[in-house]
Amino acid sequence: MAIDEYILSLRKDFFEEAFEMLEMLESNILNITNNHDDDDAIQEIFRAVHTLKGSAGAVELTEVASYTHRFEDLLDLIRMGKITIDDDTIDVLLHGIDNIKELVMSAYEERDTTIDTSKEIATLERFRDDRLSGGGSSPKTYDSSEVQSSGEVDTNVDNVNEIVDLNIDNELLDSISEMKDSGLHIYSLHISFDTENPMRTVGGVQVFVNLKQIGDVISTVPPLADLEGEEFYQNVIYVLSTDKNKDEVKAYIEAEDITESITVIDFNIDKYSNYLSEKNEDHTLNATTVAETATTSSTSNSKEVKEVKNQGANTEVKKDKHTTFLRVESDRIDAMLNQVGELVINKSTYQQHEEDFLSYLTNTSLATNELKKYFRTTMVRLAKMLENTMEKQDLKVLRNE
């Protein structure tokens, strides 16, 4: 298919910028090789790849855009500290930069690339998944303020060292075990939403509504109430019980326009139970220490000890209320479905406007070319007419002489 002249003109600017970005990538990867703690270099690489991704998409270099998109995802995890920088990570980054260079150069030289983009993307994703499933960071709990400022939540619950607080207590965990015994699948879904999509703030609710149609959403991180707000959460976890298999679940909620990645894994009940046990032991130890300190200080402080214990009991009560099963009223589901329907309609309208605008640009370009052609032809004809007129004038002068 022929490439639009306008796109071709944009590509000239893209390649000039891309070569500068490639030099920046090579310079900063050397800095990281010498110093694994060079955060500034990681940030520079991330920004350069992000720029290349957006620019490549704008000039319709799909292979460059596709690969840099996945490479950017990996860099984002590295700069957030979810994947540590070691020699293996450096090797992956070096190989990735070499791939980007080859993709850009092959596009610039208008030749077939020497790499298999789909396989290279699979290699990046395999490295990412291996690192996330075998990470060594300490357990993390959900903090709404942290997520609102960064838009990120650690989404790996398959490994006990990476478990996050999923708002699930022992009572609810027992219910989950019963569901599993009854033959239902219990999945933990880790969904990363597109930061550049104009409808990104409703993505979390849209996926929730879809999941409710194929099973029960047991819990979400962040909570549903936060997802319904105006804040954008790039990474969201859903705990789902359903009779569908993983591929069916993933295919059902696949939404390329709002999501960057969807990962479905089995919810590990035993590991999460161990996590809750360790968490409860820590709470019990802290409560005991506070009580003993208060008792030995003075007998008159016994009232304070009771207050501390009561506070602990109240906290547990509040937690039980907070970690209830996600049962949403039918009118709220209907309202959410209506909102999603309106968004889909609005999206179709915007797409139609975009198509109309692109058609207008195409027609304008064709009309401009025709006008140039007409102007050029007219000028040639005028020149010939002028030349003939001048020749006739010269003949008259000669005849008169």
Regarding whether 310 and 161 lie in a shared domain, the answer is yes
Do the domain assignments include residue 334?
Answer: no
Q: Which of 105, 133, 161 is the last residue of a domain?
A: 133
> For every residue of the chain, which 3-state class applies, written as one string?
CCCCHHHHHHHHHHHHHHHHHHHHHHHHHHHHHHCCCCHHHHHHHHHHHHHHHHHHHHCCCHHHHHHHHHHHHHHHHHHCCCCCCCHHHHHHHHHHHHHHHHHHHHHHCCCCCCCCHHHHHHHHHHHHHHHHHCCCCCCECCCHHHHHHHCCCCCCCCCHHHCECCCCCHHHHHHHHHHHHCCCEEEEEEEEECCCCCCHHHHHHHHHHHHHCCEEEEEEECCHHHHCCCCCCCEEEEEEEECCCHHHHHHHHCCCCCEEEEEEEECCHHHHHHHHHHHHHHHHHHHHHHHHHHHHHCHHHHHHHHHHHHHHHHHHHHHHHHCCCCCCCHHHHHHHHHHHHHHHHHHHHHHHHHHHHHHHHHHHHHHHHHHHHHHHHHHHHHHHHHHHHHHHHHHHHHHHC
Regarding whether 259 and 172 lie in a shared domain, the answer is yes
Q: Which of 103, 133, 163 is the last residue of a domain?
A: 133
Regarding whether 359 and 301 lie in a shared domain, the answer is no
Supply the CATH number for residue 240's domain.
3.30.70.1110
Q: Which of 274, 294, 328 is the last residue of a domain?
A: 328
Domain that holds residue 124: 5-133
Residues 218-227, mean pLDDT to the nearest whole number? 86
Regarding whether 156 and 129 lie in a shared domain, the answer is no
Do the domain assignments include residue 176?
Answer: yes
pLDDT at 160: 32
Regarding whether 390 and 283 lie in a shared domain, the answer is no
Do the domain assignments include residue 358?
Answer: yes
User: pLDDT, tens digit, for every residue of 313-370?
Assistant: 444 433 343 334 454 555 566 666 666 666 766 666 776 777 778 777 777 878 887 8
User: Is the pLDDT assigned to residue 302 strictly greater than 50?
Assistant: no
Do the domain assignments include residue 335?
Answer: no
User: Is the pLDDT assigned to residue 226 strictly greater than 60?
Assistant: yes
Residues 61-87, mean pLDDT to the nearest whole number? 91
Confidence of residue 5 (pLDDT cuts 50, 70, 90): confident
Regarding whether 276 and 238 lie in a shared domain, the answer is yes
Confidence of residue 78 (pLDDT cuts 50, 70, 90): very high
Do the domain assignments include residue 333?
Answer: no
Do the domain assignments include residue 376?
Answer: yes
Regarding whether 365 and 246 lie in a shared domain, the answer is no
User: Is the pLDDT assigned to residue 292 strictly greater than 80?
Assistant: no
Indicate whether this model's pTM tops 0.95: no
- Mean pLDDT (the chain) is 76
pLDDT at 289: 53
Better-predicted residue by pLDDT, 107 or 357: 107
pLDDT at 384: 78
Q: Among 166-180, 184-198, 384-398, which is the least confidently predicted range? A: 384-398
Regarding whether 367 and 314 lie in a shared domain, the answer is no
Better-predicted residue by pLDDT, 230 or 110: 110
Regarding whether 321 and 180 lie in a shared domain, the answer is yes
Residues 217-239, mean pLDDT to the nearest whole number? 85
pLDDT at 67: 93
Regarding whether 368 and 236 lie in a shared domain, the answer is no
Number of domains present in the structure of the chain: 3
Regarding whether 105 and 194 lie in a shared domain, the answer is no
Do the domain assignments include residue 203?
Answer: yes
Supply the CATH number for residue 64's domain.
1.20.120.160
Q: Among 34-48, 259-273, 316-330, 333-347, which is the least confidently predicted range? A: 316-330
Regarding whether 108 and 36 lie in a shared domain, the answer is yes
